[in-house]
Amino acid sequence: MPLLNVQNLSLTFTGAYGKMEAVREISFSIAKGELLAIVGESGSGKSLSALSCLGLQPASAAISGNVQFDGKEMIGASEAELRQIRGRRISMVFQEPMTALNPLHTLGKQMAEILDLHQRLTPQATRERILELLEQVGLAHFKDRLDAFPHQLSGGERQRVMIAMAIANRPDLLIADEPTTAVDVTVQARILKLLKELQHSMGMAILLITHDLTIVRRLADRVPVMSKGQIVEQGAVAAIFDHPTHPYTQHLLTSEPKGSPLPAEPNAKPVISCEGLRVYFPIKKGFFKKTVDYVKAVNDVTISVPEGTALGVVGESGSGKTTLGFALLRLIKSTGRIVFVGQDIHTLQTKQLRGLRKQMQVVFQDPYSSLNPRMSIRQIIEEGLMVHFPEKSEDERTLELDTILNDVGLTPDMKDRYPHEFSGGQRQRISIARAMVLRPRFIVLDEPTSALDLSVQAQIIDLLKSLQKKYGLSYMFISHDLRVVKAIAHQIIVMHKGIVVEQGDTAHIFAHPAHEYTRTLINAAFMKD
């Protein structure tokens, strides 16, 4: 008998715009000790399905179907019965380790609470059990961390604590909802390894929810693929990956970033370059705010981007890659020399720079926050034109607007709509259009695909490549995702704590990483052991 058996589960929301079936008649099961990974894009209903296994679906949702855990029906069970199961027999790990822990309590206190709820232990035994758990999840210096507050831990460490709390009562089933989306790749690899180990050592079943196909391939035993609230296909991992039968699965598998950068001129002149670029943020202390030290966000970086090529900048969060991009565009203060098309720009004043702004642009990571929600698409894209080409008439501007919308794969009739009417991918196209309408020569792309679904990522990469080909653009492509960088960048630099640890041709670095850190990154990203 399977541990968890879900039959014809449906979740329906009723709103002003009629009924919305978030989950439609899905069925799946998990055997004892099995790792099942539900894969799907955002909005496919995968998290919702998992939550409803615990009776944690939103109150406004109408639920139907059967969820049997260990032979016991979960739908319609009383709160008291569900509480007996939650946290003891089924536990959960959430995506966001930053908000899942209470910032006002120490680790020891929060973990003791979980144990007290379901087991009766003496204070001494509780303490021993907590230490045992923290050791099990591999928290560094765990013996001294019981009195630590969540903010004193890094994201990866918090996720470990979350896992420790989840396994504290030796659950039969652990539900992990995108447990590694919010952490860096190297941390991700370690967390996933930990989960796999726990699965084996504790004989625990795991329901993993993810959008990352690499994770699924490496970890899962079986996989249901969800799309628009339905399971379109499920089976053993090898079978699904080798012979996908449903068109959506096939589409998903082919949309993993692949391909190689466009061929580039061998002796192209650099469009932008910098020497000894430094961005230091002072650390101030005391009443008089004396500068005691600096955070060296970017430390002595020397790079050059040849015309028509893309430079990939990779590194984990906090490595200074975004800061480097902004410093190059003179959007934040820096020291060192920056040359843009043969002109020194590090000495220019804000006003003198303004004329150059149309030649160097930036596209941001989050397409939801980078467009002003109060402005129509026309206003958003036109803004730059009005600043740099005030002499153009309205008709001329409209013409350029239409051209650029076509270029980025949107249609001109969308220009009077507002950002919230568009999907994440479309919004990112609008962001690109806003930068492109000025006909720049150089664009800094700050994680332009990180907030997007896999299949959309591939489309954006294709779009960027086609624009590069059409207009001979140069890019600085900042990303933590090495797979994406590999698909677009001619050269890459690897940044770690503000320093460039390795730089060179993309193909060469991927094939022969010289620096230890680069190797760690590559192994983590492609989940090699």
Partner 1 sequence: MSPITRRRLHLFKANRRGFYSLWIFLALFCLSIFAELIANDKPIIMKYKGEFYFPVFSMYTEKTFGGDFETEASYRDNFMIERITADGWMVWPPIRYNYSTINYNTPTPNPSPPSGENLLGTDDQGRDVVARLIYGFRVSVLFGLLLTFFSSIVGVLAGAVQGYFGGWTDLLFQRFIEIWSGLPELFLLIILASIVTPNFWWLLGILLLFTWMSLTHVVRAEFLRARNFDYVKAARALGVSEMRIMVRHVLPNALVSAMTYIPFVMSGGVTALTTLDFLGFGLPPGSASLGELLLQGKSNPQAPWLGFTGFFMIAGMLVLIIFISEAVRDAYDPRKAVK
Q: Which residues bind partner 1 (CB under 8 A)?
A: 15-16, 329, 331, 353-355, 357-358, 360-362, 364-366, 369-376, 383-384, 387-388, 418, 420-421, 431, 434, 438
Query: Smallest gap, in angstroms, from Cβ of residue 279 to partner 1?
Result: 16
69-95 burial, b at 16+ Cβ within 10 Å, e below that, comes to bbeeebbebeeeeeeebbbbbbbbbbb
How would you classify residue 207: left for phi > 0, otherwise alpha for psi between -120 and 50, otherwise beta? beta
Nearer to partner 1, 217 or 388 (CB): 388
Query: Smallest gap, in angstroms, from Cβ of residue 444 to partner 1?
Result: 8
* Whole-number Å distance between alpha carbons of 178 and 140: 23
Nearer to partner 1, 177 or 447 (CB): 447
Nearer to partner 1, 15 or 263 (CB): 15
Query: Smallest gap, in angstroms, from Cβ of residue 71 to partner 1?
Result: 38
What letter would DSSP give residue 121? -
Nearer to partner 1, 57 or 91 (CB): 57
Nearer to partner 1, 133 or 371 (CB): 371
What letter would DSSP give residue 359? G
Query: Smallest gap, in angstroms, from Cβ of residue 141 to partner 1?
Result: 34
Count CB neighbours of 22 within 10 A: 20
Query: Smallest gap, in angstroms, from Cβ of residue 371 to partner 1?
Result: 6
Query: Smallest gap, in angstroms, from Cβ of residue 361 to partner 1?
Result: 6
Nearer to partner 1, 162 or 430 (CB): 430
* DSSP per position, 360-422: EEEE-S-TTTSS-TTS-HHHHHHHHHHHH-TTS-HHHHHHHHHHHHHHTT--GGGTTS-GGGS
Q: Is residue 106 classed as helix, strand or coil in its secondary structure?
A: coil
Query: Smallest gap, in angstroms, from Cβ of residue 375 to partner 1?
Result: 8
Nearer to partner 1, 250 or 372 (CB): 372
Query: Smallest gap, in angstroms, from Cβ of residue 53 to partner 1?
Result: 25
Q: How far apart are the first and last CA of the chain?
A: 34
Helical residues (DSSP H) of 168-246, grouped into ranges: 185-202, 213-219, 237-242
Nearer to partner 1, 81 or 383 (CB): 383
* Beta-strand relationship, 230-236 and 222-227: antiparallel
* Beta-strand relationship, 35-40 and 222-227: parallel
Phi, psi angle pair for 373, to nearest 5°: -65, -15
Helix (H) or strand (E) holding 467: helix 454-471
Task: With both helix axes pointing from N to C terminus, report the angle between 454-471 and 247-254 in degrees, rounded to the nearest 10.
Answer: 50
